[in-house]
Amino acid sequence: MPKLIKNGNIVDNLYTWQQDSESEATDASIVPMSKWLSEQDSIGHVAGIWIDAGEGTDDLANIDLNQFDVIGINFPAFVDGRGFSYARLLRERLSYTGEIRALGNFIPDQLGYLLRVGFNGFQFNDDVNLEKALELHKSFSNAYQGDVNEPRPIFLRR
């Protein structure tokens, strides 16, 4: 079974990231947001949805997102930073409390920043060593700026 990093641990990946909109959705599927929005009445229960770069979160404003176990955010390239904003919007404006999973072409060096904006799941490409990736973020225990987990800057935490 494939693995991923979730909440600081390496765990089994219980869900299937459906990258095409033609596949049949199951209870263990993470389906494209566009597919779920257009077919939600007929699609049945799914584990979650995923947002592609450029789609944004506006279409999710009036939806109970906590019905999903996971919301994935696709990074088409590690230099595409829109996913960072999407995660923060999901946490702070849309009050999503479940797993926000980074998908696609992000790199282990970004893990610390991804955690700070609200990601707690990381489905790396197959060539990434998960043990080494997990070690990268452990060296950063404090940040000067506030984030979604601790909004107060360091000078207010003293």
> Both tokens of residue 92?
């702070």
User: Looking at the predicted structure, is the pLDDT value of residue 55 above 70?
Assistant: yes
Q: pLDDT class for 134, splitting at 50, 70, 90?
A: confident
Long-range CB contact pairs, 35-43, < 8 A, 24+: none
User: Looking at the predicted structure, is the pLDDT value of residue 153 above 70?
Assistant: no
Average pLDDT, the chain: 88
In this predicted model, which residue has the larger pLDDT, 12 or 144?
Answer: 12
User: Looking at the predicted structure, is the pLDDT value of residue 140 above 60?
Assistant: no
Proportion of the chain above pLDDT 70, given as a percent: 87
pTM: 0.87
Proportion of the chain above pLDDT 90, given as a percent: 58
Long-range CB contact pairs, 32-39, < 8 A, 24+: 33/59, 33/60
| Alpha carbon distance 92, 87 (integer Å) | 9
Q: Which amino acid is at 58?
A: D
User: Looking at the predicted structure, is the pLDDT value of residue 144 above 60?
Assistant: no
User: Looking at the predicted structure, is the pLDDT value of residue 127 above 60?
Assistant: yes
- The SS3 of residue 29 is strand
Q: What is the DSSP string of 128-157?
A: S-HHHHHHHHHT----SS--SS--S-GGG-
